[in-house]
Amino acid sequence: VDKLGISENIANMIVNKFKKDITKDLEDLESLIENQEKEAIAQKAHYIKNSCLNVALDDICELLQELESDSISIEECVDLYKQINQKIKAII
């Protein structure tokens, strides 16, 4: 709450929405990676990064930022996805 600079009620609403939406967002990202849709991967990573910023998950945001890179390989996307998914599953 202190890091976000908002009331506890607002923080709870944001966190609950994040928890509700993140599983589907990660499933969508995984599908895009499986289909090797690089532009869509970058767009979805950016979207998820914004959600993670709302709940102050800075370390996950850094990984998502890497997924937005034009020069990243699909193999690197797979590795980053695994790291992101593991970190998020550990906190939700």
**Angstrom distance (rounded) from CA 28 to CA 76:** 17
Report the pLDDT value the prediction gives residue 7, as an integer from 0 to 100.
87
**Angstrom distance (rounded) from CA 78 to CA 14:** 28
| Domain segments of the chain as ranges | 8-91
Q: Give the pLDDT confidence of 14-69 residue by residue, as tens digits.
A: 999 999 999 999 999 999 999 999 999 999 999 999 999 989 999 999 999 999 99
**Angstrom distance (rounded) from CA 23 to CA 10:** 21
The yes-or-no verdict on residue 1 having pLDDT over 80 is no
Q: Give the pLDDT confidence of 13-24 residue by residue, as tens digits.
A: 999 999 999 999
Q: Return the sign of the alpha-carbon dihedral for residues 19, 68, 77, 56.
A: negative
pTM of the predicted model, to two decimals?
A: 0.90
Residue with tokens 């992101």: 84
**Angstrom distance (rounded) from CA 60 to CA 49:** 8
